[in-house]
A and B are shown apart, each in its own frame.
Chain A
Amino acid sequence: MRKFLSRFRYHIAVFFAVLGPGFITAVVDNDAGGILTYSQAGAQFGYLPLWTLMPITVLLIIAQEMCSRMGAVTGKGLSDLIREEYGLRITFMMMALLVIVNLTNVMSEFAGIASSLELFHISRYISVPLSAIAVWFLVVKGNYQSVEKIFLFACVLYVTYVISGFLVQPDWKEAALYSVRPVLLLQKDYLYMLIGMVGTTIAPWMQFYLQAAVVEKGITAKEYGESRIEVIVGCVMTAVIAFFIIVACAGAIYRLQPREIHDASEAALGLKPFGEYAFMLFSAGLFNASIFAACILPLSTAYTVCEGMGFESGVNKRLREAPIFYGLYTLLIVVGAGVVLLPKFPLVRMILWSQVLNGMLLPLILVFMILLVNKKELMGEWANPKWFNFVSWVAVVVIIGLTLAYVGLTVRRVQ
């Protein structure tokens, strides 16, 4: 019995030791773009889209699990592995695409910062530059452990969505019902929205970030069992937060007047009739999510690119030792924040395009992931078992199919 207890304690300790990468990655997934999509879903269709959260979570878990497993077993980042197995040219093209995609994503995060703080009457000409500087310093002057603690704290702040979901007093019975009852309306807008939810939930950068974070944290194959649980818990958390966002918008906006919204801050304003707190918490949540993602995206991009291309990287290196790393990192923040301040910049269009590019890059990355995770010489006994391989291929094909459909529909809209 004592032995059992001590083993149990050991596993709990390991769980907390590996806590971080999977959790953070999954939660950051609900960034400015994600919140907008979920808000739109709730505002326009009420509780109907809730059922999609469950399959989305499964897809997310399958993708994330492969990455964290590869990280733990090989001790190498995804871009490292792609480089080693598929050569420089493919890596270069992929990295070039990733930089462009992530740059547009960073723009949408800073746009989220601007619009959320404007709800509190803070001008974007103050909020955006200050946030950009804060983001830059946090990472450049911090180390991975302290940064990770801040990130975990930011994860906790997502609870604001849960509270604001309660404050609008939605119809819980209906919410519960539609969470398990699939409803498929053959309407163009509805389909577009469903696909969009998948598109914003599984993003290319996450795969790179998660695997790199697992490696950075020094998680080994032996601790992988706990790490897998962490990934699953993180993905479920993400779905829970998404659930409350949809429910809040359904309970507030849809109930009064179903309509299309174009901006996450519009959703926050829609909550105003249900009390100042619901509004403020929702806006604060948007700010938290945006700045959180604005911290992680440029950093993850700089890491991924430098590792893949073989440049010195890491926040513990000096500026002179890793010029390309810091250069790229700074460039992403400066450009990402800068365009938000340009009065005539077509930001909404840009964000839509960023989702199109996301969708084009993701299939490539998923295919590489699945090929890599099946390499016996890399993964040894940890390679995919046959049945799981089948499941993952199905998942990947589904994700790719939905993403490409989303891309097609978005391109049509943009034109």
Chain B
Amino acid sequence: MAETLLYFTELVSMPVFDLKGKRIGRIKDAAIVPLVHPSRIDRFLMGGADAWLVIRYDQVASITLSRGISLNDEQLVPYHDDEYMMRIARDLFDQQIIDVNGRKVVRVNDITMEVHHDGGRDTLTVLEVDIGVRSIFRRLLQGVAPPRLIRRLQHRIPPNSIRWDLANVVEPDPLRRLRLNISYSKLEEMHPADLADIVEELGPAEREAIFETIDSEAAADALSEVDPRMQVSILESLEPEKAADIVEEMAPDEAADLLNELEDETSEEILHEMDSAPKTEVRELLEFDEDTAGGLMNTEYVALHENASVMDALAALRGNEDLLETLNTLFLVDADERLCGTIPLARLFIASGGAKLQELTAETLIQVNVDERQDRVTELFDKYNLLTLPVVDEDGKLAGVITADDIISVLRAK
């Protein structure tokens, strides 16, 4: 173990010496002030004769494992609780944090810090958050065995740590989050399914904090991956405006399913806050019974007039870029919006630009009525190996589309 590393467990109860080399107290805790520096230990809290005193980082001359902390300035002020301080022993130890890289929730056992010698001063910066057996071992023995012995013994246990900049502290209180400069922007980059797993492991307050803070799109993606019962409790815990923002970003069919699960009052409140376009779509979907084709379908599809050409189709796709990721079928409708054909998207690539879409349609038109039973719908998917299935109302008008992922959810839920 390099001499430049120091564990927080070793820092705690380290003796502090004044300029004359007299011992004046022991370290009780230390704090980062994230708004000033993201990882430097900014204040040391020392238990003196009767009150705790604060040592600023620039008052420390040297920090060593064997000789403790020597000061270069003895003007210490008494400790007052300061909302801008993140105290390691109080606020971090034993708490859950998010390992952004490993995509899981972990519990803090210890902190590894690095000692920098610059000029006549020693400063500490937080390097890693320690989890796993090695740090548990260290903490249990701390104060019982001498630190050097602990260091030697722990070598047999494999280390398990997270880099400090990849550790996301979870703080439910929004004001304190601001003061401690905590953001969840790193979580937005995660895969929604991973983020969903993480929030499922956290308590309700922390969960709410994350959904309140991250942008609505990431929140919507993650929310659709969360366990359905938890979805409900998350939405209910949010302010209706924020909930509405998130629901707007969800696929309309999922949004409708979710709102269906809420108490009527709550779902009305959320609908009330939504923008009018997604609101009408969701409202229409809410009308259908959950286990019919209408309840399964969503209304995000691309439909073109029966006389349209391939060029028109490409133009329509450009106008619906947000749908492209999952789109695999185009629909043809006549002047009365009645469905008259489906076109597998891939056929567009091998057709010439001026070709009529009508020439590209699949041979048989498979469609279901909005009130078709869910079992029958799954049967059709199986029988015809479908990726998408158009749903029409009683007049034969295209009402929506069911995709294979909806069917997978249905089958999984059984």
A75 close to chain B: CB less than 8 A:
yes
Which residues on A sit within 8 Å (CB–CB) of B93? 87-88
A76 close to chain B: CB less than 8 A:
yes
A92 close to chain B: CB less than 8 A:
yes
Bound: A88/B207 CA distance, A = 24
Q: Which of B107-130 contact A (CB under 8 A)?
A: 107-109
Which residues on A sit within 8 Å (CB–CB) of B96? 80, 84
Contact in complex: B233, A218 (CB < 8 Å): yes
Which residues on B sit within 8 Å (CB–CB) of A309? 107, 136
Contact in complex: A83, B203 (CB < 8 Å): no
Contact in complex: A17, B229 (CB < 8 Å): yes
Which residues on A sit within 8 Å (CB–CB) of B133? 324
Contact in complex: A218, B94 (CB < 8 Å): no
Bound: A306/B5 CA distance, A = 28
Bound: A84/B233 CA distance, A = 24
Contact in complex: B109, A76 (CB < 8 Å): no
Bound: A4/B236 CA distance, A = 21
Contact in complex: A89, B140 (CB < 8 Å): yes
Complex partner residue of B233 from A6, A76, A220, A312, CB under 8 angstroms: A220
Q: Which of A1-57 contact B (CB under 8 A)?
A: 6, 10, 17
Closest to A308 in B: B107
**Cβ proximity bits A295-327 to B, threshold 8 Å, 1 near / 0 not:** 000000000000001111000000000001000
**Cβ proximity bits A63-81 to B, threshold 8 Å, 1 near / 0 not:** 0000000000011100010
**Can you spell out 7 A-B residue pairs with CB atoms less than 8 angstroms apart?**
A83-B94, A87-B94, A220-B233, A221-B204, A222-B233, A310-B107, A324-B133
Bound: A17/B227 CA distance, A = 14
Q: How far is the CB of A76 from chain B (nearest CB, A)?
A: 5
Contact in complex: A76, B136 (CB < 8 Å): no
Which residues on B sit within 8 Å (CB–CB) of A74? 203-204
Question: Given A88-B136, A88-B140, are A310 and B109 neighbors across the interface (CB < 8 Å)?
Answer: yes
B106 close to chain A: CB less than 8 A:
yes
B213 close to chain A: CB less than 8 A:
no
Q: Which of A344-384 contact B (CB under 8 A)?
A: none
Contact in complex: B140, A75 (CB < 8 Å): no
* Interface-centre pick from B136, B204, B236, B263 (highest chain A CB count, 10 A): B204
Contact in complex: B131, A310 (CB < 8 Å): yes
Contact in complex: A218, B131 (CB < 8 Å): no
Closest to A3 in B: B264
Complex partner residue of B203 from A6, A76, A311, CB under 8 angstroms: A76
Q: How far is the CB of A308 from chain B (nearest CB, A)?
A: 9
Complex partner residue of A88 from B104, B109, B204, B229, CB under 8 angstroms: B109
Which residues on B sit within 8 Å (CB–CB) of A324? 133
Q: How far is the CB of A75 from chain B (nearest CB, A)?
A: 4
Contact in complex: B94, A10 (CB < 8 Å): no
B202 close to chain A: CB less than 8 A:
yes
B139 close to chain A: CB less than 8 A:
yes
Q: How far is the CB of B76 from chain A (nearest CB, A)?
A: 27
Question: Given A87-B94, A88-B139, are A220 and B106 neighbors across the interface (CB < 8 Å)?
Answer: no
Q: Which of A91-112 contact B (CB under 8 A)?
A: 91-92
Which residues on B sit within 8 Å (CB–CB) of A76? 203
B362 close to chain A: CB less than 8 A:
no
Question: Given A88-B109, A310-B109, A312-B104, are A218 and B229 neighbors across the interface (CB < 8 Å)?
Answer: yes
Q: Which of B219-253 contact A (CB under 8 A)?
A: 227, 229-230, 233, 236
Which residues on A sit within 8 Å (CB–CB) of B107? 83, 309-310
Contact in complex: A220, B204 (CB < 8 Å): yes
Which residues on B sit within 8 Å (CB–CB) of A10? 263
B95 close to chain A: CB less than 8 A:
yes
Q: Which of B162-204 contact A (CB under 8 A)?
A: 202-204
Q: How far is the CB of B217 from chain A (nearest CB, A)?
A: 25
Which residues on B sit within 8 Å (CB–CB) of A75? 202-205, 207
Besides A75-B204, A222-B236, A310-B106, 4 other A-B contacts (C-beta < 8 A): A88-B93, A88-B109, A218-B227, A220-B233
Which residues on B sit within 8 Å (CB–CB) of A221? 204
Bound: A91/B230 CA distance, A = 29
**Cβ proximity bits B248-276 to A, threshold 8 Å, 1 near / 0 not:** 00000000000000011000000000000
**Cβ proximity bits B309-353 to A, threshold 8 Å, 1 near / 0 not:** 000000000000000000000000000000000000000000000
Bound: A109/B236 CA distance, A = 42
Bound: A309/B207 CA distance, A = 21
Bound: A87/B139 CA distance, A = 10
Contact in complex: A84, B95 (CB < 8 Å): yes
Which residues on B sit within 8 Å (CB–CB) of A312? 104
Bound: A309/B106 CA distance, A = 10
Closest to B144 in A: A89
Closest to A17 in B: B229
Bound: A75/B207 CA distance, A = 10
Q: How far is the CB of A313 from chain B (nearest CB, A)?
A: 10
Closest to B207 in A: A75
Which residues on A sit within 8 Å (CB–CB) of B104? 312
Which residues on A sit within 8 Å (CB–CB) of B202? 75
